[in-house]
């Protein structure tokens, strides 16, 4: 058998196969055709020597904003430039604009683009006019209907609970759960200042996702008790609720992460929450940078890879096709190096930590086609006067 592409001499980390060592991967017709210690290069037109590099499944960013029909979104190919072969939109569109999101972006993107549908009909349209201050925007029946019609791309329901739901967070959660129940999909719940974490965690079902788990703005998950955390957290984890990072420009605190780690509470998935407000200064987020922050916190490289490949694939029930390198998988991969040195990493409270390792993409393979990192030209929308307060908010919380 000959391959279209053969990667040789890489150090492979593939948590699905418990693989942590040298291996070779052969690709045919956009799929992984063979995986093993030695593959025959005869007849292969593209043999790549990856000596000195790591190879992992393509990264899956479980939480980003990739719909440019609102002020938050950026082009998903930005992530592809950094090794994110599957970009999951976390509710930038609601039932009213999701079909347009699909037609204009999902169907054309070179990234594998999936999305949660926001319970608010227009999704996250503008940070200065939050989406659920008026509960009339929440439409469970229509949200479920759109998910049903777009099942190959729509992976769940999204709701944000915090200041953006005023004093009706509980009612918003009810409606989001109703939609998720109807469509038989997971619910992703954002928590921020003002959310009632105990009430939310009590209501989440197996397979639902809590994002921004280490946000550090009056985070109600953490307590001064001996356990360090509310009892609902452990119960929810035992029930099968997923805990996601969603870094963004306001949702990652060294202090919260450290406290959780001290109590052996680790996130299930590591995601960027990339959007227009954290793509540039001061955060300059990419998924490899967020992963490097977890190396800095003491997580091992295979754990960090697990939480950005197989774990999110499982959370999406897509682990047959993506998140691993078994024969038959979509040929999405990342070749990278781990650079040693001294690196400054920032949390969203603008606090620095020094790290000694930085994950740097070297070759992105999507659907069996190799791309140099940065190969996709991505334009960002211009900023307006009304965008300024988001950046001011970041500075004020330092």
Residues of this chain that interact with Zn ion (CB under 5 A) are 90, 273
Nearer to Zn ion, 14 or 244 (CB): 244
Helix 140-149 vs helix 169-183: angle between axes, to the nearest 10 degrees? Answer: 30
CA 323 to chain centre: 13
- For residue 292, the Cα-to-chain-centroid distance in whole angstroms is 15
Count of beta carbons in the 10 Å neighbourhood of residue 340: 9
**What stretches of the chain adopt beta strand conformation (E)?**
5-14, 19-28, 31-36, 47-49, 54-57, 59-64, 84-94, 112-118, 154-161, 187-191, 209-211, 242-244, 333-346, 352-366, 369-371
How many residues are there in the chain? 398
Looking at the Cβ atoms of 66 and 336, the one nearer to Zn ion is 66
Exposure letters 229-253 (e unless 16+ CB within 10 A, then b): bbebbeebbeeebbbbbbbbbbbbb
**Closer by beta carbon to Zn ion, 88 or else 291:** 88
Name the residue with tokens 């998988």. Answer: 329
Tell the residue number behind the tokens 């959660």, with chain if given: 173
User: In sequence order, which residues have a C-beta less than 8 Å from that of residue 372 and are 6 or more positions away?
Assistant: 363, 364
CB of 163 to Zn ion, least distance (A): 14
Whether residue 323 contacts residue 16, with contact meaning beta carbons closer than 8 Å, is answered with yes
In angstroms, the CA 354 to CA 346 distance is 9
Give the shortest CB-255-to-Zn ion separation in angstroms: 21
- CB nearer to Zn ion: pick between 244 and 332: 244
Which of these, 333, 311, 296, lies nearest to 244 by C-alpha position?
311
Q: Which is nearer to Zn ion, 204 or 274 (CB)?
A: 274
CB of 45 to Zn ion, least distance (A): 41
Q: Using the minimum distance from each CB to Zn ion, give the nearer residue, 90 or 310.
A: 90
Least gap, CB of 192 to Zn ion (angstroms): 10
CA–CA separation, 310 and 314 (whole Å): 6
361, two tokens? 């993409």
Minimum distance of Zn ion from residue 190's CB (angstroms): 6
Q: How far is the CB of 273 from Zn ion (least distance, A)?
A: 4
Secondary structure string (H, E, C) spanning 131-187: CCCCHHHECHHHHHHHHHHCCCCEEEEEEEECHHHCCCHHHHHHHHHHHHHHHCCCE
Query: What minimum distance in Å lies between the beta carbon of 51 and Zn ion?
Result: 38
Tell me the closest approach of the beta carbon of residue 72 to Zn ion, in angstroms: 8
Nearer to Zn ion, 90 or 209 (CB): 90
CA–CA dist 84, 288 (Å, integer): 9
Exposure on the CB side of residue 236, measured as CA atoms within 13 A: 26
CB-nearest residue to Zn ion: 273
Give min distance, CB of 324 to Zn ion, in A: 26
Question: Which three-class secondary structure state does DSSP give residue 260?
Answer: helix
> Are 313 and 322 contacting, i.e. CB atoms less than 8 angstroms apart?
yes
Smallest separation, CB 250 to Zn ion (Å):
10
Residue 219 · residue 229 · CB < 8 Å = no
């Amino acid at each position: 058998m000959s391959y279209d592409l053969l990667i040789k001499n890489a150090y492979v980390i593939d948590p699905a196969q418990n693989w942590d060592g040298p291996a070779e991967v052969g690709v045919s017709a956009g799929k992984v055709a063979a995986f093993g210690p030695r593959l025959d290069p005869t007849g292969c037109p593209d043999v790549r020597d990856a000596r000195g590099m790591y190879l992992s499944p393509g990264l899956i960013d479980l939480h980003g904003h990739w719909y440019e029909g609102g002020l938050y979104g950026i082009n998903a190919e930005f992530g592809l430039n950094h090794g994110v072969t599957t970009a999951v939109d976390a509710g930038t569109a609601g039932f009213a604009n999701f079909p347009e999101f699909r037609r204009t972006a999902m169907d054309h993107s070179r990234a594998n683009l999936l999305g949660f549908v926001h319970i608010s009909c227009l999704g996250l349209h503008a940070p200065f006019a939050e989406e659920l201050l008026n509960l009339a925007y929440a439409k469970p029946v229509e949200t479920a209907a759109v998910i049903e019609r777009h099942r190959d791309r729509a992976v769940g329901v999204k709701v944000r609970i915090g200041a953006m739901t005023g004093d009706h967070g509980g009612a918003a959660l009810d409606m989001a759960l109703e939609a998720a129940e109807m469509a038989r999909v997971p619910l992703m719940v954002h928590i921020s200042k003002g959310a009632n974490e105990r009430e939310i965690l009590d209501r989440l079902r197996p397979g639902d996702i809590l994002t921004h788990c280490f946000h550090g703005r009056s985070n109600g998950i953490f307590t001064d008790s001996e356990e360090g955390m509310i009892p609902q957290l452990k119960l929810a984890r035992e029930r099968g609720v997923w805990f996601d990072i969603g870094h963004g420009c306001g949702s990652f605190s060294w202090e919260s992460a450290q406290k959780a780690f001290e109590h052996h509470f680790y996130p299930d998935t590591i995601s960027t929450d990339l959007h227009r407000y954290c793509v540039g200064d001061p955060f300059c987020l990419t998924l490899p940078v967020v992963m490097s922050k977890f190396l800095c916190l003491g997580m091992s490289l295979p754990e960090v890879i697990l939480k950005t490949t197989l774990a999110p694939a499982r959370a999406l029930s897509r682990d047959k096709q993506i998140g691993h390198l078994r024969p038959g998988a979509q040929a999405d991969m990342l070749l990278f190096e781990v650079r040693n040195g001294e690196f400054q990493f920032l949390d969203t409270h603008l606090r620095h930590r020094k790290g000694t390792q930085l994950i740097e993409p070297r070759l992105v393979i999507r659907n069996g086609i190799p791309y140099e990192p940065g190969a996709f030209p991505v334009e960002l929308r211009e900023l307006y006067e009304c965008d300024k307060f988001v950046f001011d908010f970041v500075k004020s919380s330092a």
